[in-house]
Amino acid sequence: MMNTHTISVGDVAVHRVGDESGPQPVCVLAHGLEDGWQSWSGLIGQLASTYRCYLLDLPWRAGNTYEWRRSFEPLTWLERALRLIPEPIDMIVGHSLGANVILDLLCHDAAITRSAVLIAPFYRPAAVPADDRLREQSRQYLRQVIDDGTRLRLGSRAHRIDDDVRAAMVDKQLERIGPAGFDVLFDQVAASGNLPLDQIAASCTVIADPEDLGLAGGDSNLFTSAWPAANLRLLPRFGHFGHVTFPEVVAEAVRELSQSAPTSVTGSAHMATTETA
């Protein structure tokens, strides 16, 4: 169980791990769709002695109703959460949807951080149209991600459960997520092909499984050609939830990038506010 200090405003919260002050670099972590800030516990075990970590609790957390979409887009929700952090950010780590929203932020705010690690992001190559075919592929991809997450939560019990039973569990989750949840995913997939990746100033590492179809349909060359400045690490058997199953791999990437990134940025965007929802 992580010992945290929590700051919350409206439908976002920030959980700080570590002392409030001191010389530690600051690392912010953003979870994915239908996930939660607690999923970083293994990685925090690797980082907490070196970094002061802020774990974001974002409205696309597990079990949400997606009513938050009526108020703001994911990028605005992320920005609102970051404004709760009272000091400059040295590193941002994001997983899945969280990684994509961070990617959007990096394209539009060069001062937000000096480095980022993006885990299993989605990417649509610019040449691939955001049409019904991509929508169906994204629907199948979401099902695979939910299935992978179900296997992960079941742990050692997964091999004792019939495929039909697990498929029914996935169906139930997808039914609850509904069209609104799928649209959150698809909107990010569609928008990713239009992002000005060449304008990103931060040093970035992207970690993914080579068989993860969410990253340019599994063709990593399409991704690297669109963003040659990124350090892409393709790790076999990493899966979509590698930050949970292989936290030491992600921690190593964070430490290596911190050592190689430029000196810390400054900017008013990092200052806490009294904004209300």
Residue 180 banded pLDDT, cuts 50, 70, 90: very high
Task: Report the CATH fold assignment for 5-126+194-270.
Answer: Rossmann fold (3.40.50)
pLDDT interval class at 237 (50, 70, 90): very high
Q: Is the pLDDT of residue 91 over 90?
A: yes
d(CA 102, CA 95): 9
Q: What is the DSSP string of the chain?
A: ----EEEEETTEEEEEES-SSSSPPEEEEE--TTB-GGGGHHHHHHHTTT-EEEEEE-TTBTT--SGGGGT--HHHHHHHHHTT--S--SEEEEETHHHHHHHHHHHH-TTS-SEEEEES--B--TTS--SHHHHHHHHHHHHHHHHHHHHHHHGGGGGGS-HHHHHHHHHHHHHHHHHHHHHHHHHHHHHHTT--GGG--SEEEEEE-TT-TTBGGG-HHHHHHH-TTSEEEE-TT--TTHHHH-HHHHHHHHHHHHHHS-SPP--GGGS------
**Position 273 pLDDT exceeds 50:** no
Confidence of residue 4 (pLDDT cuts 50, 70, 90): confident
- What are the backbone angles phi and psi of residue 42, rounded to the nearest 5°? -65, -40
Q: In terms of pLDDT, which residue wins out, 173 or 155?
A: 173
In the chain, where the domains are located: 5-126+194-270
pTM to 2 decimals?
0.91
pLDDT band at 263 (very low <50, low <70, confident <90, very high): low
Say which residue, 273 or 73, is predicted with more confidence: 73
pLDDT of residue 265 exceeding 90, the answer is: no
Average pLDDT over residues 133-152: 94
2 falls in which pLDDT band (50, 70, 90)? low
Tell me how far apart the alpha carbons of residues 235 and 59 are, in angstroms, rounded to a whole number. 29
Mean pLDDT estimate for the chain: 90
pLDDT of residue 205: 97
